[in-house]
């Protein structure tokens, strides 16, 4: 492969990776929000997720983790003082852990 072709290919790959990163940033910068009732029903009906953990996030928000042990999907939500719930992040590979941190064992 000659040098100009290789340069164009690397440039095209860089643009592609940049587009993926930009799309991810836009998705997380504009979380989906709606009524708590509607979003919890969506998480339960579509993904089989139930609430697994929660915590206070600042003076006027509650963070909750919804997950499905069967499918391994998970979603982090934020419920605001006005009752709106926002989907903040989601993914695959959920695994419930009970280990205390820091983990015991040999240092690598």
Q: What is the mean pLDDT of residues 83-93?
A: 92
Instruction: Give the per-residue pLDDT at 6.
Output: 54
Q: Mind listing the pLDDT tens digit for each residue in 33-53?
A: 999 999 999 999 999 999 999
Grade residue 79 by pLDDT with cuts at 50, 70 and 90: very high
- The model carries a pTM of 0.65
Q: What torsion do the CA atoms of 45, 47, 44, 93 make, to the nearest 10 degrees? A: 170
Grade residue 26 by pLDDT with cuts at 50, 70 and 90: very low
Name the one residue in this structure whose structure tokens are 């139930």: 50
Q: What torsion do the CA atoms of 25, 52, 47, 89 make, to the nearest 10 degrees? A: 0
């Amino acid at each position: 492969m000659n040098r100009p072709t290789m340069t164009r290919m690397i440039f095209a790959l860089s643009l592609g990776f940049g587009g993926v990163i930009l799309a991810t940033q836009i998705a997380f910068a504009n979380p989906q929000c709606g009524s708590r009732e509607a979003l919890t029903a969506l998480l339960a009906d579509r993904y089989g997720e139930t609430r697994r953990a929660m915590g206070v996030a600042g003076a006027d928000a509650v963070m909750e983790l919804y997950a499905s042990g069967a499918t391994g999907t998970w979603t982090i939500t934020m419920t605001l003082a006005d009752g709106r719930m926002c989907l903040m992040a989601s993914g695959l590979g959920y695994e419930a852990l009970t280990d205390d941190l820091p983990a015991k064992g040999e240092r690598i």
